[in-house]
Amino acid sequence: MAASQSPRTISTDTTHAEQPSSHSTSSFILNLPSELLSKIVEIVAEQEQPRSPVSTYERDNVRRRAERQAFWLSLIEGGTLGWIRLTHVCRDWRATICGNMPLLWARHIGCFRTAGAVEEMVRRAGDDVPITVGFGSARTTPDDYCEPWTIIEEPAKSWSSIQAAAYRSRIRSLSIIDMCGGDSEHDAAPPIIDELSRLEVLTVKYLVFDTCHIKDSKFRHPDLPIIRSSCLHRVLYRNYFLPWTASGLTHLCIAFDGVRPGLPAFLLHDALTSIAATIEELMFTFCVHGDFLDARPSSYTTPHLQTLRVCDMNACIDALLQRLCIPDTVELKLMLKPIDVDWREITQAITMHALLRPSSAPPLISLGTPAHAHESNALPALFSQFITDSLAMDGTHPVPYRVGNDGGTIGSHNLINLHRAIFRIIGDWPAPVSFAFDTPLWKSIYNVEETLLSFPHIHQLRVRDPLHIEDVIGPSTLDDFSFPRTAFATPASRLDLLWVVQSISDWTFYKAAVYCFALAARVKQETSLAEEEGQTAIEQHKPIVRLRLDFVTVGTTVQQEDGRELLDVLGEIAEVVELRFLR
């Protein structure tokens, strides 16, 4: 009879069965049935994608453009063979993977540009399987430039023109990523792109933006290359543009890094006209030209549109929204960059228009200010995310409304006035119960307190950086510690969740301990003030049900065993405490 065992007890079978030798175990693994091995390889391939090596030159080129890092940094990881490493396990595995899995090889043509790599991968992909081709530049010096479109124009020097044409006719998906950038002559797509007759997905991303890519004269030239595949349904451009003739696009993304002139009005008009009837997901980033509304008075009805995401200057978004006829079910996300002196009037009109439209999917509206904005026309440096229902702030639920700042200076009461205006116009809108302020609290404590004062029924609150990241944590920490007193505005105030995120260059146990003492003391101070003002005793319960404290560091982390003392300190103000040390 088996004895009951605790979760930490290791169960041991007392039967003296013969143990298999390591050799027999190894032999079993190396002699898996082909079907089972193929399934294992496919699962590994989903997680372990091969990546082209990235040169130091490319990596430095990306990092020099700080404003573009958010998107491009994910592309400069080191190269890896990924799932292809499984071909090195043994001869049988190599034979199965290389000879019997053409669909897998067909998805990674061009990921390596060593001599003969393209030919070999195409051979392993068989003769008829549609292929996915990608090019990521591997430039090591400014003079060592490989034109990105050679992956379709001259994929292999050993191939005849017939072989190259057959290769192009099999391309289902093409991805061009250039992190170096040449001039517009080198970057231009070759006329031979017309031969991509089976192309369904096209992705072109250039780190360096060349204004020649969107000049009117370029797109009015009779010899301009055009994507003529009738199968095309998904297009993603970044700092680039090529026209197409297909009428069945379902996904379109056009993005330019930073504030650009935008696409010529006639190009944007042609694009919207061709996709309106079929488009499902539409994303524009700084591609709407300021004179678009005046140049093209047409409207565009998009009956199948599910998602619309636009990041642009306020007037450009206004021009686009006035021309797009979208279904009520569209997921709408707007990121406005106010640049005009009278941005308040323009932006509020756009915001209210989006909020008041009948919709079953609440919009996400983000108001941002360019870093060079003047104080007189800047938004407060405050990211405010408020939820209309009782949703947990754990990242698993979408947050419908967001007002933010991306580096501008602090304004006065713009955010508060916007909140109040929304509630004044939409009287039956449910009061928010959760707020997440993702701006440094030490910098915007007034805005946070005023916002919470307007909405006293908050149950969940997330704040970031009550202390400046460079503050010296010591005896004076309590005096420097920012905390919104309006979070506990009445004696009965109680938070279901208080989530505090604090960043610092390097945490030590002493710093963490002082911080926890300061947080606990400040909460006690604010709740005692509420009790005095209410002239009644607070019920005997802790002011916070669940407290989560995230210490984020760029240096070493606090040892795990040190956290137990800190839990006792925070346990005086919260029933449940979660303490995390993150990098």
Q: Mind listing the pLDDT tens digit for each residue in 383-395?
A: 233 222 222 333 3
Alpha carbon of residue 89 to chain centroid: 36
Alpha carbon of residue 41 to chain centroid: 29
Q: Which helix (H) or strand (E) holds 135?
A: strand 131-136
Q: What is the pLDDT of residue 89?
A: 84
Amino acid identity for residue 109 in this structure:
I
- Can you tell me which residue has the tokens 């041991």? 12
pTM of the model: 0.64
Q: What is the pLDDT of residue 90?
A: 86
Which pairs count as long-range contacts for 108-117, CB under 8 Å and 24+ apart, including other chains? 108/49, 108/50, 108/132, 108/134, 109/133, 109/134, 110/134, 110/135, 110/151, 110/155, 111/50, 111/51, 111/52, 111/136, 112/50, 112/52, 113/52, 113/138, 113/146, 116/156
Q: Tokens representing 179?
A: 């992190």
Cβ burial 130-148 (10 Å sphere, 16+ → b, else e): bbbbbbbbbbeeeeebbbb
List, in sequence order, every residue forming a beta bridge with 553; answer none if it has no partner: 504
pLDDT tens for each residue of 249-283: 999 999 887 656 678 888 888 899 999 999 999 99
DSSP 377-391: GPPPS--EEEESS--
| pLDDT band, very low/low/confident/very high, at 119 (cuts 50, 70, 90) | confident
Q: Tokens representing 248?
A: 């069945």
What is the four-CA torsion angle of 140, 110, 205, 270, rounded to 10 degrees?
150
What is the four-CA torsion angle of 410, 416, 419, 423, rounded to 10 degrees?
-170
pLDDT tens for each residue of 348-374: 566 666 666 666 665 666 555 444 433
Q: What is the pLDDT of residue 19?
A: 46
> Which of 73-87, 142-156, 165-179, 459-473 has the highest mean predicted lDDT (pLDDT)?
165-179
Cβ atoms of residues 259 and 226 within 8 Å: no
Between CA 502 and CA 526 the distance in angstroms is: 20
Q: Which of 147-151, 202-206, 228-232 has the lowest mean pLDDT?
A: 147-151
Cβ atoms of residues 237 and 207 within 8 Å: no
If you average pLDDT over residues 114-130, what whole number do you get?
A: 84
Strand order, beta sheet including 434-440: 401-403, 384-387, 434-440, 460-464, 495-504, 544-553, 574-582
Q: What is the pLDDT of residue 464?
A: 86
| pLDDT band, very low/low/confident/very high, at 319 (cuts 50, 70, 90) | confident
Q: Which of 22-26, 113-117, 206-210 has the lowest mean pLDDT?
A: 22-26
Q: What is the pLDDT of residue 416?
A: 53
Of 536 and 467, which is predicted with more confidence?
Answer: 467
Q: What SS3 class is residue 520?
A: helix
Q: What SS3 class is residue 307?
A: strand
Amino acid identity for residue 478 in this structure:
L
> Which of 26-35, 134-143, 345-354, 573-582 has the highest mean predicted lDDT (pLDDT)?
573-582
Q: Which helix (H) or strand (E) holds 39?
A: helix 34-47
Q: Tokens representing 286?
A: 């700084």
Query: 3-state secondary structure string, 188-229?
Result: CCCHHHHHCCCCCEEEEEECCCCHHHHCHHHHCCCCCCCECC
- Which of 459, 432, 466, 437 minimizes the C-alpha distance to 544? 459
Residues 6+ apart with CB under 8 A from 444: 380, 381, 382, 410, 437
Between CA 108 and CA 512 the distance in angstroms is: 47
Backbone angles phi, psi at 136, to 5 degrees: -120, 120
Cβ atoms of residues 380 and 417 within 8 Å: no
Indicate the average pLDDT of the chain: 72
Which pairs count as long-range contacts for 67-73, CB under 8 Å and 24+ apart, including other chains? 67/257, 67/258, 68/207, 68/257, 68/258, 71/238, 71/257, 72/179, 72/207
Strands 434-440 and 384-387: antiparallel
Q: Tokens representing 125?
A: 């992909």
Q: What is the pLDDT of residue 11?
A: 29
Supply the Cα-derived Rg of the chain in whole angstroms.
29
- Which of 154, 138, 158 minimizes the C-alpha distance to 146? 138
Cβ atoms of residues 442 and 466 within 8 Å: yes
Q: Which of 15-19, 74-78, 456-460, 476-480 has the lowest mean pLDDT?
A: 15-19
Amino acid identity for residue 183 in this structure:
D
Of 317 and 246, which is predicted with more confidence?
Answer: 246
Cβ atoms of residues 199 and 171 within 8 Å: yes
Q: Tokens representing 546?
A: 């669940």
Between CA 444 and CA 462 the distance in angstroms is: 14
CB count, 10 Å around CB of 436? 19
- Start-to-end CA distance of the chain, whole Å, equals 48
| Region for 239 from its dihedrals, namely left if φ exceeds 0, alpha if ψ lies in -120 to 50, beta otherwise | left
DSSP 44-66: HHHH---B----HHHHHHHHT-G
* Burial bucket for residue 13 (CB in 10 Å: 0-12, 13-18, 19+): exposed
* Burial bucket for residue 405 (CB in 10 Å: 0-12, 13-18, 19+): buried
CB count, 10 Å around CB of 52? 21
Angle between helices 563-570 and 509-534 (to 10 degrees): 0
Between CA 145 and CA 142 the distance in angstroms is: 7
Amino acid identity for residue 515 in this structure:
Y
Cβ atoms of residues 180 and 57 within 8 Å: yes
Q: Tokens representing 302?
A: 């998009």
Alpha-carbon dihedral sign for residues 351, 355, 359, 360? positive
